[in-house]
Amino acid sequence: MALTNRSKTVTVRELTWSEKLYLPAIFKGMMITFSHMFKRTPTIKYPDVKREMAPVYRGQHVLKRDEAGAERCTACGLCAVACPAEAITMESAERKKGEESLYREEKYASIYEINMLRCIFCGLCEDACPKEAIFLTDRIVPSSFTRGEEVFGKDILVESQDTPVDVTKRQSPEVLEFKKNKSHYHNRTFKDAKPLVNKHH
């Protein structure tokens, strides 16, 4: 089966006289390399120039806080269920009295870990989250020397109160519209199932 139309049948045979001269083949090869002199190099000179990223690039995750600065995550586990790579684990805990400013709801995640080596950055956790707590950002996950360092806990994932992470690019009007009906979409039955229609069409 041919995967491309560029495959060639190759046979072992004696070279013809003109092929034994090598010179035509050498000339042909040199013309190929010469033509590359006029090609644009695709190199991006990294420290000077940074590659332009898509505004909705899916990089390192962030656990958002609400307007008052309390963690939005309630440790429902929907993200962990949605995760196809099984990269997310969490442990839930009950909010104590006096912790209302820390956690928005009565239940919160005492441990929340994402294994960055397992994560495939598909963004399904973000889709699954009913509390608008987890988002993927345009930050690149830094490399590390050990595997353990690549398991990110809450200390890295939760945004700091002073410098909130901007996720407005991933919350475009279309996305918000989609998320509004998410519960309905997730729980739809065959009776009320209708194909998703882009509103522009």
Partner 1 sequence: MDALLIYKFILCVIVFVISLGMAAYMTWGERKLAAILQDRVGPDRAGPLGLLQPIADGVKMFMKEEMLPTQSNRFLFILGPCLFMITACMTGAVIPWGSGITIGDVTYPMQIADINIGLLYLLGVVSIGVYGIMIGGWASNNKYSLLGALRASSQMISYEVAMGLALIALVMMTGTLSLGEISRQQDAGLANVVYQPLGFLIFIICAFAETNRAPFDLPECESELVGGYHTEYSSMKLGLFLFAEYINMFISSAVMATLYWGGYNFPFQHELGLEGNTLAILQTVALFAKIIIFIFIFMWVRWTLPRFRYDQLMHLGWRVLLPLSLANIFITGIVMYFLGKLN
Identified binder of partner 1 from the candidate list 1, 12, 32, 196, rule CB under 8 A: 32
**Under rule CB under 8 A, residue 17 binds partner 1:** no
- Site membership for partner 1, residue 199 (CB under 8 A): no
Asked whether the beta carbons of 107 and 93 are under 8 A apart, the reply is yes
Q: If binding is defined by CB under 8 A, does position 173 make contact with partner 1?
A: no
Q: Is 168 in the site for partner 1 (CB under 8 A)?
A: no
Q: Which residue has the tokens 């009565």?
A: 106
Find the shortest distance in angstroms from Cβ 42 to partner 1. 7
Tell me the sheet residues that pair with 91: 111
CB of 4 to partner 1, least distance (A): 22
User: What is the C-alpha separation between 147 and 154, in angstroms, rounded?
Assistant: 17
8, 39, 50, 200: residue in contact with partner 1 (rule CB under 8 A): 39
Query: According to the binding rule CB under 8 A, does residue 26 interact with partner 1?
Result: yes
> Applying CB under 8 A, does 45 fall inside the site for partner 1?
yes
Q: Which amino acid is at 71?
A: E
The Cα 38–Cα 80 span in angstroms is 51
Nearest to 171 by CA among 163, 180, 162: 180
Distance CA 129, CA 78 (A): 6
Q: How far is the CB of 54 from partner 1 (least distance, A)?
A: 24
Verify binding: residue 51, partner 1, rule CB under 8 A: no
**3-state SS class at 176:** helix
How many positions of this chain bind partner 1 (CB under 8 A)? 13
